[in-house]
Every structure is written in C-alpha cells, then in structure tokens.
Amino acid sequence: MKTIVEPKQMQDLARKWRSEKKTVGFVPTMGALHKGHLELVRASRKENDATVVSIYVNPLQFGPREDYQQYPRTLEADLELLEKEKVRALFAPTNREMYPAGFSSRVEVSGSLVQGLCAPYRPGHFNGVATVVVKLLGAVQPTRLYLGQKDAQQAAVLKQVVRDLDLDVEPVICPIVREHDGLAMSSRNKRLTLAGRKVAPVLYKALKVGKSIVDLGQADAEKVLGEIKNVMAEERSVKLQYLEAVDAGTLAPVKEIKPGTMIAVAAYLDNVRLIDNIVI
C-alpha cells in the first residue's frame, strides 16, 4: 500500500489509473477504523480495480465546542488494517496540504437536507463535510464513493453535492455495521466509558422497539417516537438530542410512518455524541 500525503501526488496516481481504464473505489474516513469502515473497503474492492482510503480528521466539520481534539487517532492500527484489506493507496493529507494559508473557498449546502436531524445542532458541519469531500474527490478522482448509512444525513448531503456539482462519481451507500449487542459501529465508541459502553446499545434497542410497533400497524409518528423515547428513558445516562421520523430520501419530517421512513436519533452518553437510525 502506497501512502500519499500531497494532493498533487494523489492526482498523478489518479490520472495514471484513469489512463489505464482502471475503476477506482474511494472510502473517505477520519481514521480510528472499525469494521464499519472495513465493510466499505470490502464493498469497494469487490466493485473496483483499485481502492483508495483517505484518513483525515477534518477541522472544518467540527464546531468550536466539538471533539476535534478528542477525536480518536489510531494511525498505526489503521495502517495495519488497510494493509490486510489490500488497499492500494492511503491518502493521508495534513492540515497544511488541505487548508494552506489563503484558503478561501467552501462548498455550502442549503435546503431541506440540512434543516433537520444533526444540522441545527452542528452549524457548519455539513458545509465542512461537503467542502472536504469535494477536495478529496478532486485529489482521488474515483469512479465510486463509498459512504456508510450510519451517517445517513451526511450520505444524503454528499449525494446531493455530487449531483449538484456534476461530479463524475457514483455514490454507494453501505448498510450500518453493528456490534453483537446492536450498537452501531463508530470511531466515537472508543471514547465511551465502560459504563457508557454498556448502556449505549439502548439506542438501537429503542429504534427496534419503534420498528416493531410500526410492523404491528402503528403509523402515527408521534406515537411511535413516544414509545422509542420511553425505552431510552429507562437509561438515565442517555441524554437525547433529537429523535425524528423523516423521509429517507428528502430527510423531510413525516407524520405518518411508512416504507421509506427513517427514524433517526442522536444522544449524548458520557459527553460522547452517538447517532443511529433505522429505515422502515
């Protein structure tokens, strides 16, 4: 596996692959890799001639009170995992390459995709994500872009940006990967205390209770969300930030739950912010 720091060098490799008619799969990450990331890598390897993974903790997508400093960084373990997965290139730029002095362009996203869910609680977050991913796509020039359904709003926003800016890449959204007890895999899980880690699966447990109520015929979003909240309330250390029922495509809130509705949650546990979702 080649490790590349400079965007220009990444572009050279991308151009070489393109001239060889190779398809390229790209998995952007912030490192602290887990099985969720590795499933993205495996999906990419299955569908493309070469796979590039990026590791970059993007300061632009963190708010001033968020966990940019505390975000887990495990580069050596990450490198070992990516070698094992036969990734062809790791693109790991530093802040100096990504945001040099004089940097002054951003991608800004408006509209319904950035009105609900995480957006009001993380102002600037999705613009930061959109900007860095447009930059990464400019460096890697992949055929396909692999994103996880765990960050459902991020995936929806990036699909929209790709469409809006006529970027020549096909987004592929992969399912959530979970621990044995149902907790959605996330780099932030590493930041949980032992006690927090024990309680964390309640998010998915509650979402599943909601889904089972829907399966039994209850379509009223308010009632279903109420039942989900009741389950989460059993764990006093869980501080709910939002629980919403939205259209999985447009992310617009819905009153009636039906196939294609996503129920999404964000909650704090030990000052660690976790998100999860389930699609009906």
Tokens of 173: 């959204």
Out of 37, 125, 135, 273, the only residue in the binding site for a copy of itself (CB under 8 A) is: 135
> Which of residues 162 and 184 has its CB atom nearest to a copy of itself in the complex?
162
The 157-186 contact track toward a copy of itself, x by CB under 8 A, reads: ---xx--xxxxx------------------
Tokens of 14: 């991308």
Work out how close the CB of 251 gets to a copy of itself at its nearest, in angstroms, rounded to a whole number: 12
> Which of residues 161 and 254 has its CB atom nearest to a copy of itself in the complex?
161
As beta bridge partners, residue 90 has: 3, 53
Cα dihedral across residues 156, 161, 166, 170: positive or negative: negative
Instruction: Based on the residue annotation, tell me whether 125 is a catalytic residue of this protein.
Output: no
As beta bridge partners, residue 174 has: 148
**Does position 139 bind a copy of itself by CB under 8 A?**
yes
Cβ–Cβ < 8 Å for 158, 129? yes
Out of 21, 46, 65, 255, the only residue in the binding site for a copy of itself (CB under 8 A) is: 21
Cβ–Cβ < 8 Å for 145, 15? no
Choose among 147, 136, 132: nearest CA to 43.
Answer: 147
Q: Which of these ranges, 104-112, 189-197, 232-240, 267-275, lies near a copy of itself under the rule CB under 8 A? A: 104-112
Work out how close the CB of 49 gets to a copy of itself at its nearest, in angstroms, rounded to a whole number: 13
**H/E segment holding residue 54:** strand 50-55
Q: How far apart, in whole angstroms, are the C-alpha atoms of residue 251 and residue 221?
A: 14
Q: Which of these ranges, 43-51, 81-89, 96-104, 260-268, lies near a copy of itself under the rule CB under 8 A? A: 96-104
> Which of residues 164 and 234 has its CB atom nearest to a copy of itself in the complex?
164
Choose among 88, 104, 94, 111: nearest CA to 31.
Answer: 94
Enumerate binding residues for a copy of itself (CB under 8 A). 7, 11, 14-15, 18-21, 102-111, 113, 130-131, 134-136, 138-139, 141, 160-161, 164-168
